[in-house]
Chain A
Amino acid sequence: MNILWLIMICASLIFAFFNGRVDVINQVCLNIGKDTFDFVLPLVCTVCFWNGVLYVAREAGMIAALEKVFHPFLKWLLPDLKEDEETLGYVATNITVNMFGLGSAATPVGLKAMEGMQRHNPKKDTASRSMVTFLVLNTAGVTLLPTTLIALRSEFHSLQVTDFMPWAVLCTMFASLVGIAVDRWWNHRD
């Protein structure tokens, strides 16, 4: 990431020098800090509202109820964790919290799940089968409520803020399905 970032900036600057666009670049350098601040702040404030709503949902036991729904499914996907209810719980929480777009709340739980899986791992420097499946579930996971995206679209005064949602949900389900299918097919061992 470090190298990519430097290359992107250096290449643009060099290109601008030869292109005679230095004055525009100058403007970018002067204004980018404030411009970014100007939309990140309202963005965070809108996301805060959803964070509040989702905390209420969690307190009302809705996220726990969803976890129970996934439990049998996860037992089938992660067979070597069958005995370890605790780790399986972390996995379920991570996937469910991710679904609701609470990405920052999902990461600590996800790392706990990885620790739990590492305990069952015979080769400590190699990814176990469960880890691969879990990460596929995580990265290709279904997102039902992309809070940041909703906030961003309303900030740009979209006339149809939520129009994309049914289609995005369809796409994330498709991505998860493909991910799980490829994982099953590729890592099938028993």
Chain B
Amino acid sequence: MIDSTLILPALVLLIFIIALCKRVPAYSVFLTGVKDGMGLFLDIYPALLAMMCAISLLRESGLMDIISGLFQYISTAIPSQIWPMVLFRPISGSASLAVLIDIFKTCGVDSLAGMMASIIQGSTDTTVYVITLYFSSVGIKKIGNSLSIGLIADIAGIGMAIFLTLLIFA
């Protein structure tokens, strides 16, 4: 079993050693990267605020508990907070991020639910959003079976995520 705390420092070291060998002006390139990253705030904040609002209201009103409770019949091994995550992951990136933050807040980041939600978040991309954006950009209306295949892949990824979490962290 590799120590996971090694991943990030080792990656940075690898990148910087290669940059050193190739004489990349690393400092100024790094600054450009950070500068471009700041623009992300304007991309993320509006959508995330809208979704956080909806998710918070769903939870505080008690409606979320009722919906999660229905799914509880499927399997009691899976934490009930995970279901909104499973439902939102393929549809909207900011909605699933909002659910993820909600889980971190209520269950804790290192809890079983927190771990499972992290792996689910990392396992797939937002299929519906990407397909809508890419096809509409070139004016395609008949999208073939891309949506079905994307969703099948999502189900596979999320299922695998749940299975692995229960196997490793439970």
Chain A residues at the B interface, C-beta cutoff of 8 Å: 1, 4-5, 8-9, 11-13, 15-16, 19, 21, 24-25, 27-28, 32-33, 35-37, 39-41, 43-44, 47-57, 59-62, 98, 103-105, 107, 110-111, 114-115, 117-118, 124-127, 129, 131-132, 135-136, 138-141, 143, 145-146, 148-150, 152-153, 156-172, 174-176, 178-179, 182-183, 186-187
Chain A's nearest CB lies how many Å from the CB of B14? 9
- Interface contact B142-A152, CB-CB below 8 Å: no
A154 to B54: give the CA distance in the assembly, Å: 25
Given the known inter-chain contacts A61-B22, A152-B100, please indicate yes or no for A5 contacting B50, CB distance below 8 A: yes
- Interface contact A168-B109, CB-CB below 8 Å: no
Cβ-defined partner of B61 (8 Å) among A15, A47, A140:
A15
Q: Does B77 contact A (CB under 8 A)?
A: no
Residues of B within 8 A of A48 (CB): 33-34, 37-38, 40
Residues of A within 8 A of B101 (CB): 39, 152
A172: nearest chain-B partner, CB-CB: B123
Given the known inter-chain contacts A39-B101, A152-B104, A171-B161, please indicate yes or no for A53 contacting B33, CB distance below 8 A: yes
Q: Does B31 contact A (CB under 8 A)?
A: yes
Residues of B within 8 A of A148 (CB): 97
Main secondary structure of the interface of B (DSSP, over half): helix
12 A-B residue pairs with Cβ-Cβ distance under 8 Å, sorted by A, are: A1-B92, A32-B53, A44-B41, A117-B138, A132-B143, A138-B125, A139-B125, A139-B126, A152-B101, A156-B104, A160-B110, A168-B123
Chain A's nearest CB lies how many Å from the CB of B86? 13
Main secondary structure of the interface of A (DSSP, over half): helix
- Interface contact B122-A172, CB-CB below 8 Å: yes
Residues of A within 8 A of B57 (CB): 8-9, 12-13, 16, 25, 28
A77 to B24: give the CA distance in the assembly, Å: 34
Q: Does B48 contact A (CB under 8 A)?
A: yes
Given the known inter-chain contacts A28-B53, A179-B149, A186-B149, please indicate yes or no for A62 contacting B18, CB distance below 8 A: yes
- Interface contact A51-B160, CB-CB below 8 Å: no
Chain A's nearest CB lies how many Å from the CB of B169? 8
A172 to B127: give the CA distance in the assembly, Å: 13
Cβ-defined partner of A51 (8 Å) among B37, B45, B51:
B37
- Interface contact A125-B30, CB-CB below 8 Å: no
B47-86 with Cβ < 8 A to chain A: 48-58, 60-63
Given the known inter-chain contacts A48-B38, A135-B130, A136-B150, please indicate yes or no for A53 contacting B15, CB distance below 8 A: yes
A80 to B162: give the CA distance in the assembly, Å: 37
Please name the 7 residue pairs, one residue from A and one from B, whose CB atoms are nearest each other, closest first: A175-B157, A55-B33, A168-B122, A179-B153, A51-B37, A48-B37, A140-B153
- Interface contact B144-A35, CB-CB below 8 Å: no
Chain A's nearest CB lies how many Å from the CB of B9? 10
- Interface contact A60-B15, CB-CB below 8 Å: yes
B106-156 with Cβ < 8 A to chain A: 109-110, 114-115, 118-127, 130-131, 133-135, 137-146, 149-150, 152-154, 156
